Amino acid sequence: MEIPLQITFRGIPHSDAVEAKIREKASKLGNQYHIRIDITTPRKELVISREHYDKQAHEDIYVAIRDAFNAATRQLEDYSRIQRGEVKTHDLQSTGTILRILPEKDHGFIGSEDGREIYFHRNSVAGEGFDSLTVGDEIRYIEEKDDLGPQASIVYP
């Protein structure tokens, strides 16, 4: 069910041009695709969740699906290397501080030791989970590279 857009002018007179611009911008908001892939292995559940609100390419569902499965392939390859003992997980961990938490959007950002912002999703948080985090908490995390920037695949409170 689609809810119709309601535009209210307060403190300024109604403008057809402004309303048209708002409707144009709002129509583009719903055209982004969110792909989530859950993969269960014998020892771990991998969650690949990509939200691309500002990426024009993800207005095409086939591009969004391709990118999500490419990310899933990378995570499975990394997991497989760790399982074979080719990479030690403690070598991959970094430390940082929680900068922002956006519970309504199920994600937040970590401040890395080198000053970068690292995205993390609710499903990436181990232990007590996402709801136990507060701004300023020191955490450990495993970083992965993504087309949109750095992301923490696992966050340890």
Mean pLDDT within 7-34: 85
Give me the number of domains the chain comprises.
Answer: 2
Q: Summarize pLDDT for 87-128 with one digit per residue, the tens.
A: 655 556 888 999 999 999 989 999 998 888 999 998 888 877
Over 70: is that where the pLDDT of 10 sits? yes
Same domain, 101 and 70: no
Q: Summarize pLDDT for 125-156 with one digit per residue, the tens.
A: 887 789 999 999 999 898 887 677 788 888 88
**Of all helices (H) and strands (E), which one includes residue 20?**
helix 16-29
Tell me what the pLDDT averaged over the chain comes to: 82
Mean pLDDT within 33-55: 72
Which structural domain range is residue 48 located in?
A: 34-84
Please enumerate, as own/partner, the contacts of 45-49 that have beta carbons within 8 Å and a separation of 24 or more: 46/72, 46/75, 46/76, 46/79, 47/121, 47/123, 47/124, 48/72, 48/75, 49/121, 49/123
pTM for the whole thing?
A: 0.45
Same domain, 80 and 96: no
The three-state secondary structure class of 83 is helix
Q: Does residue 25 sit within a domain? A: no
Q: Does residue 130 sit within a domain? A: yes
